[in-house]
């Protein structure tokens, strides 16, 4: 009982600071569970994305939730409003704390989802996070996308700013964005919960991420939570890596 009490106090303390979300970038459940077991005492959130979810389905999500772990289901819903709204109910019934949908899916998609969540009799509601521009995009790559929509002058910063405006006006409580746009978002929309991927500890390989910062830089710019995957999952000493990141953002 005493241990549980102090764990809750620690979680509450973390909620007021920058939280750490660990991307379980694995193909199989046993790999993910092995890492979770190593990190069990630490106040972290586990992110389950497309690869692991397609491998394990809802079972792994429910297993982790049942064991008291906080889960971020990152499937980036993008479909007609009715489909996404119903998918969000399935995510809620699994007990996840966060899930993602693309802001570019439009107002009806976002608001239908939020209304469905609100009408549900389930008390614990997940936070719907609107995805802005992927952190794998650099300006040159983004220009190719912008040209497809006839917007040659649009850049990542302008796009993220417009999407954040939409997210705030449509009632989405949080947004996924790069740390490079974070200061602007925090200034204009201080109530948005901001989740920042593309985080790389010092001396880490950037891999396929383009717009990256360190954990400390993201924290200093006001990130509500940071997402770290491969620097942890591919580390020889994941526990030490996570402890180092936590000390950096606390």
Sign for the CA dihedral angle at 80, 82, 83, 88 comes to positive
Strands, E assignment, the chain: 19-23, 45-48, 70-77, 98-102, 127-131, 174-176, 193-196, 225-228
- Choose among 179, 244, 191, 164: nearest CA to 218: 179
Q: Which residues, at least 6 apart from 148, have a Cβ–Cβ distance to it below 8 Å?
A: none
The CA-atom distances, in angstroms, between 38 and each of 33, 76, 139 are 9, 28, 38
CA max distance for the chain: 60
For tokens 């974070």, the residue is: 182
- Straight-line distance from the first to the last Cα atom of the chain, in angstroms, rounded to the nearest whole number: 25
Active site positions, annotated: 76
What DSSP letter does each residue of 85-154 carry, written as one string?
A: HHHHHHHHHHT-SEEEEEGGG-HHHHHHHHHHHHHSS-SSPPEEEEE-S-TT--HHHHHHHHHHTT-TT-
Tokens 């790389």, residue located? 200
């Amino acid at each position: 009982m005493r241990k549980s009490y102090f764990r809750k106090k620690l979680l509450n303390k973390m909620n007021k600071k920058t939280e750490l979300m660990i991307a379980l970038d694995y193909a199989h459940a046993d790999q993910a569970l092995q890492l979770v077991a190593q990190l069990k005492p630490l106040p972290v959130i586990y992110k389950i994305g497309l690869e692991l979810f397609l491998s394990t389905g809802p079972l792994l999500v429910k297993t982790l939730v049942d064991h008291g772990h906080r889960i971020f289901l990152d499937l980036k819903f993008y479909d007609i409003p009715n489909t996404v709204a119903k998918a969000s109910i399935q995510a809620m019934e699994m007990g996840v704390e966060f899930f993602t949908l693309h802001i570019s899916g439009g107002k009806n998609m976002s608001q239908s989802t939020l209304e469905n969540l609100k009408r549900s009799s389930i008390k614990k509601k997940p936070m719907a996070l609107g995805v802005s521009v992927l952190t794998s995009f650099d300006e040159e790559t983004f220009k190719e996308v912008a040209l497809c929509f006839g917007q040659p002058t649009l850049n990542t910063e302008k796009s993220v700013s417009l999407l954040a405006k939409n997210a705030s006006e449509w009632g989405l409580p949080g947004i996924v964005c790069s740390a490079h746009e974070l200061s602007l978002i925090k200034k204009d929309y201080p109530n948005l919960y901001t989740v920042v991927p593309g985080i790389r500890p010092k001396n880490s390989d950037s891999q396929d991420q383009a717009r990256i910062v360190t954990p400390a830089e993201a924290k200093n710019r006001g990130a509500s939570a940071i997402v770290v995957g491969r620097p942890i999952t591919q580390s020889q000493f994941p526990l030490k890596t996570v402890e180092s990141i936590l000390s950096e953002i606390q």
